[in-house]
Structure 1
Amino acid sequence: MATNPSSAAQAARRALGGRLRDLRKSADLTIRQLGQATGQHYTRVSKIENGIQSPTERDIRIWCRACAADAEVPDLIASLRVVDSAYVEFRRDSRAGMKRVLGPHTLQRYQQTSVFRIYEHNVIPGLFQTAEYAAAMLGFWIRFLGTSNDIEDAVAVRMERQRIVQRGGKRFVVVLEEQALRTWFGTAEVQAGQLGRLLEIMSLPNVSLGIIPLMIERPGVPSAGFWIFDDDLVALETPTASIQVTQPSERHLYARMFETLKGSAVYGKQARALIIQVLAELDP
């Protein structure tokens, strides 16, 4: 997947056009015939198929109807929404400060979600971060992206979202790589405080926390951390963009990957022992 949001969106638009072209050909229709069947000029059909112009949701529905492929509509519309809104540039959002760099991590999204499935490979998830750890991590991104320094407000936004963990009716299924325990943000004291916070979180009845040890045989390794909000949305981040996956077939693949990762993790006493071991190593 391209990490440049604009090029990724262009590639997604071309891929969507290619899928619509395949449907037309499978229905044995020419571009002109499809244009007549859908009430649009054949040149627009060509532009859509070549990724020059995006279709509307209505275009997709009547296109599939003309091709006797109504079953494809949900997946194609999800792909269209990826083209339209899935790639949100951090630099654009961060011009007004890091507190606005949220992507899908809004309070509204959190309130609407019943089950959070979270995988992180080198950072503690924001829902479980201490204020000091969050400030150290956000400080890096402020310097890296060259944004205005609103670190106190940005940390406050993240601490406010954490209240969702203590409320009833929500479950948090989390898998961390051991490397996430060992990646420092700030001083050893900050890291120790964060690991202590993680031990507290593990005792909550609505939180399942697994840790994948560094040196074990495992069936798979993902390329990035990701969050699954219920079965509706998958979110992941690159250094320059927040990517939101809504296409059903892709969401299913992330869910499968998450189950694979869960199988490699240790839980309960073994997970606590890993955290305590790393804490001991922080003590000079």
Structure 2
Amino acid sequence: MKKILVTGSKGQLGSELEVLSKIYTQFQWVFTDREELDLCNLEKLETELNSINPQIIINCAAHTAVDKAESEFELSEVLNHQSVAILAKWSFANDCKFIHVSTDYVFDGTAATALTETAQTNPINVYGQTKLAGEKACLQENPNAIIIRTSWVYSSFGNNFVKTMSRLMQERDSLNVVNDQIGSPTYAADLAQAIMTILTHNNWQAGIYNFSNEGEISWYEFALAIKELGSFNCEISGIPSSAYPTPAKRPQYSLLDKTKIKNTFGVVVPDYKVSLEKCMKIK
């Protein structure tokens, strides 16, 4: 029985993988978060990995607080880059399959069409810079690794845009939401399923893959969909990013092209609204 190590197991994706682990009982699952496996302790990481000795690693851990990352460079650098290098190196040396989760924030947002895996990277914030450094280290240390770039992740677990909007729409009469950042949301349960589809596929093809739900929307349109599905009465207005300054700059356009992951592994990509409805029904 192959052992799967999931890092960052208390996050949205890790939590969804834990749900799926009840179905994929052909694997032995080890779920770790900071308490069980501290990725910031780089000196001890290799010893810890030897002790767990997994045949598959799914790295869901990251410093994902995009605005905080601007003032927490060292933490971002360790979690998003240096620990990834060690995980990748250990995986390669121990014939362990490695799936590393990355982000659309490796792009600068100046594209006008959906981004493929070979599109030019050019991150515009610390989070994106450290995640790109992690990708490069991953492929350098383990050419057999799979990297999955995703975007706008939400889930019934953790804190995210869907939960925040649902709460605010019940508390307030009106809300302003940015309408000039374009992409597609990702339901973490769908991403977890995509990862399991890859792991149970008979053909392991290393490299970078994109995954998000189908659809091309702004955060404002995402909020409107949440309002509609939640039957909220709150007034939603679209505003430009310039009216809502944040410490970290965001890509204006980061829609991901999912053709490669569909064709290579037969991954099914649901429409964003279908998945949003599914998530919002979970209480």
Please tell me the TM-score bracket, short chain as reference. Answer: under 0.3
TM-score, structure 2 normalization: 0.27
TM-score, structure 1 normalization: 0.27
Rg larger in 1 or in 2? 1
Structure having the larger proportion of residues in strand:
2
Structure having the larger proportion of residues in helix:
1
